[in-house]
Chains A and B, each alone.
Chain A
Amino acid sequence: MGKFPAIIGVGRTRFGEHYERSPEKLIEEAWLRASKEAGIERKDLQAGYVADYFLPITNKFGLEEGFLSELTELHVQMEITRSFSSALFNACNAIQAGRYDLVLVGGMEKMTDRWDKIRDDLMLLEDPWSYYAGCTPEANHELMLRAYIKKYGINGSELEKFNHALAYISVKNHKHALKNEYAQYRREIKVEDVLKQRKIARKPLGLYDFAPISDGATAVVLANSEVAKKYTDNPVYVLGCSSATDYITFPSREDLTHFLVTRICIEDALKMAGISRKDIQLVELYDQSTVMEMVSLEDLGFVQEGKAWMDIYESCQDYKGYYEIDGKRLYVNTNGGLKADGNPLGATGGAQVFEVFKQLRNEAGERQIEIQSEPFYACTLELEGFGTKGYVYVFGRGWNE
């Protein structure tokens, strides 16, 4: 594992509404937790890669780097990216290129500071032409769902089962979040609640099918694998990372039922990591909606296209904490996913890495999954926009080799 960048500490805030706190305060809390875990001082940092989508809009921040410099009293290189995964990508590159040995990767978002206008911002960022035509942040998910149902000819009693399967995803994620002290929603919901919200909205998807609007921050300390050994015996390695891009206008994409970026990314990331898909036991994927979780399972190649809902349905009849696919366990969104853990855009990817880090180190407490076999690998999928960009990471632990 010598050449792979290593994570030596992670930290995060609770996700949800932080009315009384500024974004700098949130990232400070995340950073302090991560640095404590890593056992480093801020002066040890050689660079910072920090993500946020909307601070220039929500908080009228222009130069976030300057705020961070002032906060940390550091004068090192700082770079702002949109998603956490994008920040991590840059950090990995810098470490692998030998430029830096120890860097901070962070993410923060303060969406509730612009509570009344954030949906317009989100939609305009996601897909401008669709926004002009009247699209909402929810509508593209529903269109994908409609296209999916059509493509795979799901109807009659199957359709009812299918709709239940999607509802189970939300129920399942809420269940996971019960054990996550940082999660935005720590309460159980029932399938009936999800279905009822859809009925109220008179739409294919309702309130409980979508991830919320959140504030929050996450931080990760990333090091060169040699340097990592100085701080910890059990770092988590970034074995594979990949990114891909798709057309911003959703209707102009060839396939309306899946995300091309995910398909490209998973292949590249697995290749880079030199492992096979079946070695992955845990996935933190980008469930902005229940449809996104279902479709992503297929895009990542864990389930055949058009079939994921069947495995979800069966697994959730008597849910044991994982999806059972072809007789194998696949743990998905053990932190509660975006649905229940929260979705403060810039910080979200950091929460995925946080979860994977804890699980791989066997430090996830109540949430700890039962490791099926060694080596134990996990992956994350983060999307920007409505699948306009994708990032897949493969993580592994090296200490038991």
Chain B
Amino acid sequence: MSSEPIERRVSYVGDRLRGSRCIFCGKEYFDLRDYCGNCGRKSYGKMAPIDFFFEKGQLEVCTFVNKPTNKFTKLGNYIYGIVSFHNGKVRVPGRLTDRLWKENEEIDLSSLEGREVVPRFRRRYAVKKSEIVPTISLAFTFADEYYPYQEYQAVKPNKEYEKPGIVGYGVYVSRFRIKESFMERSVPFIDEDAITAAVEAGKLALIHSGVDSRLIGKVYVGSESNPYAVKPIASKVAQVLKLGEEDKADGVQYVDAVDTEFACKAATSMFKDAASLVFYPDSHTPCAMVIGTDNSQAAPRGAPGGELDFFVGYGGCAFIFGMRDVIAEIEGWHSCTSDTPDFWRRDGEPFPRHGGRFTGDPAYFKHVGKAAKKLMEKLRLQPSDIRYFVSHQPNIRFPVKIAKTLGFKEEQYQPGLQVARFGNTYSGASPLGLAAVLDIAKPEERILVVSYGSGAGSDAYLFRTTSQLPEKRERQKFTIQYQAQNPYIEYVDYGTYRKLKLGLETD
């Protein structure tokens, strides 16, 4: 579909699974209705908006699709069926995603029917690279498998902090992995990309924080693999997650949304902006969301830039900043920048290139080292005052080397070192390390996070955890550990990994 108005209307309803409920008889509809067929004219304008985005449904009946329509052929074979919500009050069509069907694999439909499913925000079908990226949440996975059903409940905050900080976070990596020598890396399913990971991470951050999505006044999305050269991911995130107040009449969210780009520090750079924004009283912005998301790009092995193909991962990481119910306060930050072209991707090029041996000393180590040292100096802290050290992790060697150089011990840097489990998630890499530490940290512990973005620069942040950290932990089942070691992880070979990574694009 290359019609923008149709695309807007389909994704507006389909991404969030919007519906309507009659306030008189309670009848529910998928899609937006102005009046109820049961109650007629008296219900006009009295339909309550509902949506099924955070709900779970049941796969009523299903079948196997071995010969999809043209736009779906890239998805291969899949299960398609009917999903009901609210005990059958509403039924929608749906495709089961995140499943690779082997040739000759036996399919027992009755073993799938009747099971609970969760809607997943995904790409709808394949389109040409020049076209609008169509998305939809009529894609589902089983609630008792890799991606669990989790309730989203807005919780009234009860404690105001003096300093701004993190109030919640969410990390999303796919259930597919490639395992090569000492590294495991996350691989997107074919209908996933940087946009879908951003939405997933944001959704998980809302669940974890308990923040009412209407309180989020700004969303920043940092990425270097946005499928669009021009068009933000943040606008999609804002609309799907209903961030800010919603103007229902015109389908507008009263929220500021912007994409940022600075290689792998596109997201961390905005932590301080988000924190400052929520701290400034006249901004009337109780919360701000920062997302780092990447379907990390790499040329095929053997091609220029193909060395990256051994390290790239896929995932999204979202942090919500605010002043109330903070789990980690920001104690300070420091950034440094120089114009160092160690890694770049020219406009129109599909894959990045890098400066080989110049990506180490004059680039990564210099910037990470300087930002970290300056911040510690400013705050008069020694490595021993800091419980955890997290840095950008393009591979295993770099972060270990810089941690040691700065004087950190293994027990300080190891918990935040996740690259061997998920690969380099680019904009999400150091945030993912931070999330891994927050998953296990105790109250009143200091965490130093230093990002690195090629081009080049680093942002160093010092966080101190609060007593509310362990309380909120219970709300999030989908932790780093859960995603790293999960019985439903599926390992793919190199050929499949490349195919999945290139996603639903046609020429």
Contact = CB atoms under 8 A, between A and B. Distances in A.
Interface stretch (B72-80, B202-210, B303-311): B72-80
Contacts of B138: 129, 132-134
Contact of A134 (B66, B70, B95): B95
Nearest to A146: B61
Interface stretch (A198-206, A216-224, A370-378): A198-206
Q: What's the interface size class on A, roughly?
A: 20 to 34
A119 interface: yes
A294 interface: no
Which of B72, B82, B106 counts the most chain A CB atoms within 10 A? Answer: B82
B154 interface: no
A251 B63 contact: no
Nearest to B13: A129
Interface string B116-136: 000000001100000000101
A120 B69 contact: yes
A135 B72 CA distance: 9
B78 A139 contact: no
Label chain A's interface by main secondary structure. helix
A250 interface: yes
Interface in A136-161: 136-139, 142-143, 146-147, 150
A252 interface: yes
B94 interface: yes
A75 B229 CA distance: 55
A139 B63 contact: yes
A150 B59 CA distance: 13
A67 to B, nearest CB: 27
Nearest to B83: A251
A143 B66 contact: no
Contacts of B72: 134, 136
A135 B93 contact: yes
A366 interface: no
A132 B63 contact: no
A70 interface: no
A137 B70 CA distance: 12
Given A116-B70, A120-B69, A146-B109, A133 B63 contact: no
A117 interface: yes
A256 B92 contact: no
B19 to A, nearest CB: 10
A91 B106 CA distance: 51
B136 A251 contact: no
A89 B60 CA distance: 37
A182 interface: no
Interface in B155-181: none
A134 B80 contact: yes
A130 interface: yes
B134 to A, nearest CB: 8
B67 interface: yes
Which of B14, B29, B72, B113 counts the most chain A CB atoms within 10 A? Answer: B72
Interface of A: 116-117, 119-120, 123, 127, 129-139, 142-143, 146-147, 150, 201-204, 249-252, 256
Interface of B: 10, 14, 29-31, 60-72, 75, 78, 80-83, 90-95, 106-107, 109, 113, 124-125, 134, 136, 138-139
Given A251-B93, A252-B30, 6 more contacts: A129-B138, A133-B94, A134-B125, A136-B80, A202-B107, A250-B82
11 contacts: A116-B70, A117-B70, A120-B70, A127-B93, A132-B134, A132-B136, A143-B62, A147-B60, A249-B30, A249-B93, A250-B93
Q: What are the nearest 3 A-B pairs in CB distance?
A: A134-B95, A142-B63, A133-B138
